[in-house]
Chain A
């Protein structure tokens, strides 16, 4: 999820969709799907996305609702799925599992109390990517000819890498950690109404007159997915300290503090496991009829729930490249 402290440091500006036409975006799949899952689960009767055998596939509604936005604005998404959990993150993952179990308990209680607002909020938090969701999302992407890549570890790290080497124009994520993974340009709020936000790494560094390595150190001081921040150090202070002392270790020494595994955490940002095993296909030709059958017949989703989304996918028009011809 990353640390939203970074927001106050990042250079963020609004960018109209018209400027994004023709661009390729590496989208953090988990992060993207999560946004649609939470809204679907919050506002839709669960019978609509539950099969007779009890599988919950709200993700399929999410995919059909979310994709038209890319097609209509002539953007090419390539979705990046998280791979194995990074070793270090195990504790963090364990902690989050605890939190979710708590949320599930609270959810039951809220339902019993009849507190529907609290219940809906908690329900969103308990949403997780089940194996069925993992598999069916990929299968639907295959039918719709939407490219995706399997990250060896962190999806954000993989997306940032693809952006850094110039294979994609933007990373799509709500997560501020993409900055720490070195993504030059991150698009936020591509799932929301209105214009997206552009988070720019170079401008962020220039703004604070620090290097990328120093920004990572600032992130570690404030707390990342891999570590808790140092107590008493917020983003502004972190920048001041890093500027004054040069790097993380000098700051920790000066302050007499310790961050467990600091070396390895830095390495995870500087050199995360990534793969070159992907292809970027700019001409997407979705088989909408097959996708409809898959979603409504195979996975028993009410046709009316996805009718609008499929219509939008159908009527969106894709720019081809000259290399697609002759």
Chain B
């Protein structure tokens, strides 16, 4: 059983965070939250999303799992104005999701959850450094890096207590330095890792510019990006595996 009403902007934020990595996903319809965990086919980027029941105008669910085509669902959600409410109701018999937006009714065929990639285990990582910055600052660093390279280095300078976003291209280099006072918070530790800009750009697309983004980092280790939306009731954690210099 699943029946919910949610604002279009909240649903869109939630779906966007997942659709930047995968086209199809399983949605867990737990009693107290709506959750998705997915990893891209290359096993490089992972997303863990939870949207608490309180983020919905109304929410009733009993722990089922549905498989959805995210592009379809996003297209439908895109038909709503940002203030509009979206009604979702699962028809258990036909395994279809009925969606209503401002007089528009849509019946979405669901995908067999067993045909979707297994939900990944979240790697347990001990990441020594952490910074908290605004989505807009991360966006600026990523945009600049994208002008010169396909890779981006995220680094914490322990002595300077600074966070660096750096990129080296064939001819040009870019770096963005954020000092302690530029950031919301910093926990210094040894951290310097290189990432594919393709993945980070996609993740960045979903991160609201005004969100506080917590970035946990290590030395040639995956990065963990965490942010909240829907007034703290929606939680997204991304994990991205690093590129490593072979030696």
Contact = CB atoms under 8 A, between A and B. Distances in A.
Partners in one complex: yes
Interface of A: 22, 71, 283-286, 288, 313-326
A320 B246 contact: no
B221 A322 contact: no
B101 to A, nearest CB: 36
A283 B194 CA distance: 15
Nearest to B125: A326
B87 interface: no
A322 B45 CA distance: 7
Nearest to A326: B123
Interface in B99-125: 120, 122-125
A323 B43 contact: yes
Interface stretch (B12-20, B61-69, B236-244): B236-244
Given A325-B123, A325-B125, A325-B222, A320 B247 contact: no
Given A285-B246, A325-B241, 13 more contacts: A283-B244, A285-B244, A314-B247, A315-B245, A316-B246, A317-B245, A318-B243, A319-B243, A320-B44, A322-B44, A322-B46, A325-B221, A326-B222
Contacts of A323: 43, 123
Contacts of A313: 246
Contact of B39 (A284, A316, A322, A324): A322
B123 A288 contact: no
B171 to A, nearest CB: 16
Which 8 pairs from chain A and chain B are nearest by CB? A326-B123, A321-B43, A320-B241, A326-B124, A325-B123, A317-B243, A322-B241, A319-B243
B242 to A, nearest CB: 6
Nearest to A284: B246
B246 A286 contact: yes
Among the interface residues A284, A313, A315, A321, which one has the most CB atoms of the partner chain B within 10 A?
A321
Contact of B246 (A22, A314, A322): A314
B151 interface: yes
A325 B222 CA distance: 8
Given A325-B123, A325-B125, A326-B124, A320 B42 contact: no
Interface in B103-159: 120, 122-125, 151
